[in-house]
Amino acid sequence: MSYAELEARPPASRAHLRRVVIEERQQRTLDHVRLSTGYADDVDPHGHDQDTFRLINQRKQLDELPGSELVVPALDDWKYWTKMNDWDSRNALLEQLTGKMRRREASPAEIQLLIVLCRPAWQTVAMSLRRYGGLDLDPGAAGVHQREETRRVN
C-alpha cells in the first residue's frame, strides 16, 4: 500500500492498519527469537520475567560451549553442594582438578571448570591486594568500572 492510499483512508482505518503492522513486526521478532534461541512454540513469551529469560538464555549458551558435557553438570553439582553446605564434596572436586593441573593432565573442559569455580576467590584476593597492599591502580581505568578489561588490569 502506498503512502497516498494510506492518507486517503479515514483516521480510524489508519490506526487499525498501523496496529496490524506493529503486531506483525512483533510476531516476526518473536518467531526470530524462538528460532535463534531454540525455544519451543508452546513457550509463552510472557510466561517468565526478563531475569528468568536471561537465565534461560545463559544456560542455553553454556550448553553450546565446547566441553559443556563436563562443565555444566559439574557446575550444577557445585551449586547444589553450596546450598547444602557440603564442603567435603566441593573440596574433593577442587583437589581433583588442581591435582590434574599440577600433573598437566587436565582437559580444556576441566581447566574451564577450574577457572569458573576459582574466579570469585581470585577476584576477592585481587581486591584485597588493591585495598590493603598499597598497589597503585591504573589511572586509565578510573571511572570505568564493571568492565572485563578493568578487572583484568586492576
Q: Tell me which of 99 and 141 has the higher pLDDT.
A: 99
For the chain, domain boundaries: 1-63, 65-154
Here the cell at position 91 is 573440596
pLDDT recorded at residue 96: 92
Tens of pLDDT, residues 38-77: 565 566 666 677 777 777 777 777 788 888 888 889 988 9
The string of DSSP codes covering 7-61 is HHS-HHHHHHHHHHHHHHHHHHHHHHHHHHHT--TTS-TTSS-HHHHHHHHHHHH
Q: Is the pTM of this model over 0.75?
A: no
pLDDT tens column, 12-36: 666 667 777 888 888 888 777 766 6
pLDDT at position 154 is 45
